[in-house]
Structure 1
Amino acid sequence: MHIYTAEDIAAALNWGAVIDALREAHQGPRPQGDSYFIGDAGFGLFSRGVVLPGYGAGLKVCSINPGNSSLVPPRPVEQAAFVVIDEQTKAIAAFMDGPEITRWKTAADSALAALSLSRADSQTLLVIGAGPIAQALTAAYLHIRPSIKRVLLWNRSPEKLVHARRLIGEQVAVEVVSNLDAALEQADIVTCATSSLQPLVKGARIRPGTHVDLVGGFREDMREADDEVLRNARVFVDDYSTAQASGDICGPLKSGALSHIEGDLFDLCAKGATRAAQDRTVYKNAGGAHLDLVVAQLAIRRHRRQTSHLTG
C-alpha cells in the first residue's frame, strides 16, 4: 500500500487531465455505491463507498467539524482519507489525502457539466464561499471558460476572501462584493460552495441564461438555493442518489417547484445538453465516491510516471 500526500496529488494533476478522466469514466458503466452520515450540523462522520468496473473500488471516510474554522488559528473543517482497492487483487492499494482528492474531483465535476450547461460566452463568474473547494471551482471555471473576464467573490466573512483573491491572478478582474443579490443579477455563472442551512441564491435575482452550480449542501437540512432557482429551470445532477438526499433537490421536489431532473453526469457525457440562450440551467453537484475513485486512480498513474521518470 502506498500513501499519497496532498503534495503528491497536486503535483500529479491538472484541470485538463482531471476533466478528461471524468468524461471518459462517465462514458462507461455506472458505479455501485452507497453512503452514510452520522451526526448533525455540529459534527458528523461521513462515508461513501464505490465499486466501478475498470477502476477497482474505493472508500471515503470523513470527519466534519465546522467549529474548526473558528479556532485560532483555524483548522480544516474536513479531515478525510480515500482508500483505493485494486480491481484485480482486491487489496488496499493506496491511502490518499481526502481533502485534496475532494478538491480536484468536486471542481472538475462542476466544470465538466458546465461545458454543456453554461453559455460558451459567459463573462461574469460569481463564486459564493471562501474555502478550498470554492477556490478550486474558480480555477476550474477559468480553465473551461476563457471567455470569463470578471470574477465576483462573496462570503459571509469577507476577510476570508483576501487569500482567495490573490490566488486567482491578474488575468481577470476580481472583485470582493458585499451585496450578494446585486452580484447574482450580474452573473452568467453562479457557483456556490458553502455549508449554508438557508438559501443564499435567490431565483428572483437570477437572469435568464444563467447557469447555477450548487456544490456545498449534501444533507437534507442544507440549502444553497431557494425553490425559485429551480422552478422552470433545466435541472441536472451528478449522481441521482446523492443529489436527491440534498436539501437543494429534495426540498423543491417536495414543494412541487421541481417536477423532474433532466439527467445526470452520465447523460451529459453521453449526449450533452443543447441549450437555448435564455435557458436557466441548474446543476446539483452532490458528489459520489466513483468521482473520487476516478481522480485517485488518475493521480496514482501520473505520480508513478513522474517518479519512474525521475528514477530512470
Structure 2
Amino acid sequence: MQIISKDQIEAVAEWGAIIQALHNGHLGDRPQNGEFFVGDAEAGLFSRGVVLAGVGAGVKIASIRAGNAARTPSLPNEHAAFLYIEEQTGVVGAFLDGPAITQLKTAADSALAASLLSREDSEVLLVLGAGPIARALTEAYLHVRPKLRHMLLWNRTPAKLEHAVQRIASLGVEVSIVDELEQAVSRADIIVSATSTATPLIAGRCVRPGTHVDLVGGYRADMQEADVELVGKARIFADDRASALASGDLCIPLSQGVIEAGSIEADLFELCQRADFSRSSADITLYKNAGGAHLDLIVSRYVLAAVNA
C-alpha cells in the first residue's frame, strides 16, 4: 500500500487536469455512496464511503475538533485521510493525505460547476473565508474564468488575508480586502463562500442579476452562508442532491417553504452530461458544493496516476 503525503499531492496538482478528471468522472455511472457522523459541532468523527464503476472505491475518515485552531494555531480543526481501494482486486492501494485531497476536490468541484454556470465574461470575484479551502478556490476559479480581473476578499479577521493578498497579486490580479460585505456582494459577478457560519453572510437583496453564487462551507443543518431570499430567487444546482438538501443553506429554506426538494435543477452529473444547458445574462445561479466521497475518489485516482507516472 502506498502512503501519499501532502507534499506529493501538491507536487502533481494541476488545476486543468484535476478539473478535467472530475468532468470525465461525471460522464459515466453514478456512485454508490454512504456516510455517517458521530458527535456534535465541537467534536466528531465523520466518514464517507463510495463505489464508482470504472474508478474504484474509497473511504474518507475525518476527525473534527472545532477548538484546535483557537488553542494551537498550527493545529487544524480537521484531520483526515482517504483510503483508495482498487476496483478489480479490492486491495487497499493507497492511503492519501485527507486535507490535501479535500482542498483539491472541493475547489475543483466548484470550479467545474462555475465553468458551466457562471458568465464567461465575469470579472469580479468575491471570496468569503481565509482558510486553505478558500485559498484553493481562488486558484481554481482563476483557471476556469481567466477574464477575472479583480478579486475581493472578506473575512471576519481581515489580518488573516494579508498573505492571500500578496499571493493573488503575484498572479497579476487586482486584489483588495473589503470591510463592507454588502457593498462587495453588490459588485461581484461571482461570489464564493467557504466559511463555517451559522448566520447568513450573503444577503439576497444585494446580489445582482447575472451573479453566480457558490456556497461551500456549510455542511451541517444549522450552517447557512446565504439567506433564504437569495435561495428563493436563484436557479439552484448542487454536486449531490441528498447532501445539499441536508445542509442548512437548502434545508432551512426548504423547511420554511421557500423552495421544494425538486427546486434543484440539476446535479453535477446532469450538468456535465447535458449539452443543452444555458443561462441568461440576468439569471442568478446558486451552486451548493456539499461534497461527496466520489469526488475524493476521482481526485485521488488522478493523484496516484500522476505520482506513479
- The normalised TM-score by structure 2 is 0.97
Alignment of 1:82-97 (within 5 A): 82-97=82-97
Matched, 1:106 2:106: yes
Q: Distance in 1 between matches of 2:216 and 2:18?
A: 18
Matched, 1:197 2:193: no
Matched, 1:220 2:221: yes
Counterpart for residue 288 of structure 1: 292
> What letter corresponds to residue 195 of structure 1 in structure 2?
S
Counterpart for residue 261 of structure 1: 264
Q: Deviations over 1:16-67 (max 9, x none)?
A: 0000000001000000011111122211211100000111110000111221
Measure how far apart 1:72 and its partner are. 4.1
Counterpart for residue 66 of structure 2: 66
Any unmatched runs of 5+ in structure 1? Answer: 306-312
Counterpart for residue 150 of structure 1: 150
Alignment of 1:115-194 (within 5 A): 115-168=115-168, 169-194=170-195
Runs of at least 4 residues off by over 4 Å:
none
**Greater mean alpha carbon deviation, residues 120-129 or residues 74-83:** 74-83
Counterpart for residue 53 of structure 2: 53
Q: Distance in 2 between matches of 1:303 and 1:170?
A: 26
Q: Distance in 2 between matches of 1:62 and 1:274?
A: 37
Which of 261, 270, 274 pairs up with 1:271?
A: 274
> What letter corresponds to residue 23 of structure 1 in structure 2?
H
Any unmatched runs of 5+ in structure 2? Answer: none
> What letter corresponds to residue 22 of structure 1 in structure 2?
L
> What letter corresponds to residue 76 of structure 2 in structure 1?
P
Q: Distance in 1 between matches of 2:25 and 2:102?
A: 17
Aligned residue for 2:81, secondary structure, equals strand
Aligned residue for 2:200, secondary structure, equals coil
> What letter corresponds to residue 191 of structure 1 in structure 2?
V
> What letter corresponds to residue 71 of structure 1 in structure 2?
R
Measure how far apart 1:88 and its partner are. 1.0
Q: Distance in 2 between matches of 1:254 and 1:174?
A: 38
Q: Distance in 2 between matches of 1:108 and 1:24?
A: 13
Measure how far apart 1:139 and its partner are. 0.4
Aligned residue for 1:231, secondary structure, equals helix
Counterpart for residue 309 of structure 1: none
Q: Distance in 2 between matches of 1:170 and 1:20?
A: 22
Q: What is the percentage of aligned positions where both structures have the same residue?
A: 54
> What letter corresponds to residue 95 of structure 1 in structure 2?
F
Measure how far apart 1:71 and its partner are. 2.6
- The normalised TM-score by structure 1 is 0.96
Q: Distance in 1 between matches of 2:46 and 2:85?
A: 19
> What letter corresponds to residue 296 of structure 2 in structure 1?
D
> What letter corresponds to residue 266 of structure 2 in structure 1?
G
Counterpart for residue 308 of structure 1: none
- What number of residue pairs does the alignment pair up? 305
Measure how far apart 1:170 and its partner are. 4.1
Measure how far apart 1:264 and its partner are. 0.1
In angstroms, what is the RMSD of aligned CA positions?
1.0
Taking structure 1 as reference, are residues 170 and 112 closer, same or farther at Cα in structure 2, changes over 3 Å only?
closer
